[in-house]
Amino acid sequence: MVFVAVGTQKFQFDRLLKAIDDLIADHSISEPVYAQTGMSDYVPHNYTAQPQMQKNEFDTFISQCDLLITHSGVGTIMTGLKYEKPVIVVPRQKQYGEHIDDHQIQIADAFSQQNMILRCMDTGQLLACIHEAKTHSFAKYISSNDNVINEISLFLNALE
């Protein structure tokens, strides 16, 4: 199953949702697709979608999907990495009225440079990214939470 998540921001992401619909319509995507569509106006014709989800439902979809296609939301990307899913990030872009600036491109670049995700700037390249994601060897995310907690503990202990 392919899970598409576009976040809950006040901006539409019709460009991505329509591209997915078109790939299903021309049989380029044959596996089931489910999407969280947020504030988008586009209503998919060839896959099931809902605007919002509870966090546990959202996490369940990510944990069960074979591929996550998402906007450049750090929380969604991190959840995909936590579940070791192949992640394709399609950043929202200012030029399409999908956000107020292009910070999502910078986020996608940062994760892409670490080989944790595939970045797709042009939805015309989405099918190629989907094929690549099936065989790509992604770097595994390693949390540094333990290091941060250890440093804070050392600091607090030094105050005593």
Mean pLDDT of 141-154: 68
pLDDT at 32: 98
**Range in 25-29, 42-46, 141-145, 146-150 with the lowest mean pLDDT:** 146-150
| Residue 144: pLDDT over 70 | no
| Residue 149: pLDDT over 70 | no
Q: What is the pLDDT of residues 57-67, one digit of tens each?
A: 999 999 999 99
The distance of Cα 16 from the centroid of its chain, to the nearest Å, equals 11
Task: Give the C-alpha separation, 26 to 32, whole Å.
Answer: 14
Instruction: Decide if 35 contacts 6 (C-beta within 8 A).
Output: yes
Q: What percent of the chain has pLDDT over 90?
A: 78
Mean pLDDT of 9-16: 92
| Residue 26: pLDDT over 80 | yes
- Domain containing 105 equals 2-159
Please enumerate in sequence order all residues whose Cβ is within 8 A of that of 100, keeping only pairs 6 or more positions apart, or say none.
94
| Residue 29: pLDDT over 80 | yes
Instruction: Decide if 142 contacts 149 (C-beta within 8 A).
Output: no
CATH label of the domain that carries residue 118: 3.40.50.2000
Q: Specify the pTM.
A: 0.88
- Total structural domains in the chain? 1
Q: What is the pLDDT of residues 66-107, one digit of tens each?
A: 999 999 999 999 999 999 999 999 999 998 888 888 889 999
